[in-house]
Amino acid sequence: MLEVRGLHTHFLARGFDNQVRVARALNGVDFTVGEREIVGLVGETGAGKSLTAYSVMGLLKPPAKVVAGQALYNGRDLLALSDDERRKLRGGEIALVVQSPKSSLEPLTTVSQQLVRVHRAHRQVDEAAARVRAVEMLAAVGIPDPERRANAYAHQLSGGMAQRVLMAMALINEPKLLIADEPTTGLDVTVQAQVLDLLRDLVRARGMSALVITHDLGIVAQYCDRIAVMYAGQVVESGGVMDVFARPSHPYTRRLIASTPDSLARRGGRPLGGAANPPNLYALPDGCLYADRCDHAAAQCAVAPRADPVAGTHLVRCHFSRQFALEPMA
Ligand SMILES: Nc1ncnc2c1ncn2[C@@H]1O[C@H](COP(=O)(O)OP(=O)(O)O)[C@@H](O)[C@H]1O
Ligand SMILES: [Mg+2]
């Protein structure tokens, strides 16, 4: 359904000395989202998760620029579409739920006006029919008293309600692919579970596919079929959730798993070693991008590893993945 291949996105900036500096934010992102699959895209802040979504959706603003790669949606390269073609797909067949719901709702229009506008931009329906549909969608995303809430403004909604409205907006045109960027960050745990349960049920019921961006591995374990782990603008490990959690085979994935609250508690709060600095995107090494943070770096790591299978569709970008695959987690 969606196949992202070798996606490179850079920020180009000219310094005071008039030299162009390049921040290599995405360095060959590869992953796929299959029919009816929910894929979790994880990684620490700054790994390039949002940038990946924005690149695929054609929503980058200068100085960010896709410099190489493809994003094939049912075989069509989204990166090669005209603005017009892309606008037609976006919000129709492919929908994005962005980070921070409150700031992405318009302050001066009501919830229903915003839903109606999105619906009518993509479907030939009159105002009244669109309004009926808007209220239906608010009910479908679990908003109590949807008739009344339809007339609310963004500032009158709680964070959880605003997130549901954004989901209603993303789903109103029955997209085939939903991309949700941190859909529950900032919500309390109970509301978070409600929103994610809803997302999963809607995705399943409507036969959609979804890419869920999060930094929470617990969410991935509970809601996703497959996982893609990002580091420094690359997917360093991907595969079925069961496979990756059972046999994490990239040192970075292993560190992420080791830093979950459960795992930390098991080791008495001791984090796994290694420097904690994020990579400098202006001066990335030629070899493995993770090498300078990796406890296992060796001479081979001066050569960039490819993402190779350790088993089936479980891919790992590390020269020593086979060894890690066999090593039990601490
Ligand atoms: N204007 C910019 N110039 C250079 N680098 C930038 C700029 N904007 C964002 N970045 C970098 O792009 C990287 C990817 O960011 P992002 O996709 O938002 O990460 P994530 O969503 O995984 O937290 C970050 O490391 C960030 O520092
Ligand atoms: Mg982000």
Strand pairing class (2-14; 94-97): unpaired
Say which range, 38-52, 78-92, 99-113, 162-176, has the weakest mean pLDDT: 99-113
What does the pLDDT read at residue 297?
93
Mutation to probe ligand 1, out of 11, 27, 98 (largest number of atoms < 8 A from CB): 11
- Provide the Cα torsion 247, 252, 255, 257; round to 10°: -50
What does the pLDDT read at residue 271?
56
Question: Does position 273 have pLDDT exceeding 60, yes or no?
Answer: no
Atom of ligand 1 nearest to the CA of 13: 3
Is the pTM of the predicted complex or chain greater than 0.85?
yes
Residues 144-169: tens digit of each pLDDT: 999 999 999 999 998 888 988 998 99
Atom of ligand 1 nearest to the CA of 181: 21
Alpha carbon 83 to chain centroid distance?
A: 22
Question: Comparing C-alpha atoms, which of 65, 39, 76, 2 is closest to residue 180?
Answer: 39
What does the pLDDT read at residue 315?
97
Question: Comparing C-alpha atoms, which of 25, 34, 24 is closest to residue 3?
Answer: 34
Give the N- to C-terminal CA distance of the chain in Å, as an integer.
37
Distance of CA 181 from the midpoint of ligand 2 (Å) = 7
- Is the shortest distance between the CB of 25 and ligand 1 below 6 Å? yes
Structure tokens at 14: 């000219």
- Provide the Cα torsion 85, 90, 92, 96; round to 10°: 170
- Is the shortest distance between the CB of 46 and ligand 1 below 6 Å? yes
- Is the shortest distance between the CB of 279 and ligand 1 below 6 Å? no
What does the pLDDT read at residue 24?
96
Q: Mean pLDDT across the stretch 118-138?
A: 95
> pLDDT-based confidence at 270, cuts 50/70/90?
low
Structure tokens at 277: 């600095």
According to DSSP, residue 80 is labeled G
Q: What percentage of the chain reaches a pLDDT higher than 70?
A: 96
Structure tokens at 181: 């960027």
CB 25 within 8 A of CB 7: no
Instruction: Give the containing element (helix H, strand E) for 109.
Output: none
Residue with the bigger pLDDT between 98 and 245: it is 245
Question: What residue's CA is closest to ligand 1, atom 10?
Answer: 25
Atom of ligand 1 nearest to the CA of 233: 14
CA 278 to CA 268: how far, in whole Å? 25
Output Rg (C-alpha) for the chain, integer angstroms.
Answer: 21
DSSP character string of 147-210: HHHTT--GGGS-HHHHHHHHHHHHHTT--SEEEEESTTTTS-HHHHHHHHHHHHHHHHHTT-EE
Q: Mean pLDDT across the stretch 249-259?
A: 92
> pLDDT-based confidence at 272, cuts 50/70/90?
low
Residues 23-48: tens digit of each pLDDT: 999 999 999 999 999 999 999 989 99
**Domain boundaries 2-102+178-326, CATH class:** alpha beta
Mean residue pLDDT of the chain comes to 91
What does the pLDDT read at residue 18?
87
- Is the shortest distance between the CB of 101 and ligand 1 below 6 Å? no
Say which ligand is closest to the CA of 60.
Answer: 1
Question: What residue's CA is closest to ligand 1, atom 12?
Answer: 25
According to DSSP, residue 93 is labeled T
What does the pLDDT read at residue 267?
65
Say which range, 221-230, 303-312, 318-327, has the weakest mean pLDDT: 318-327
Report the SS3 class of residue 244.
helix
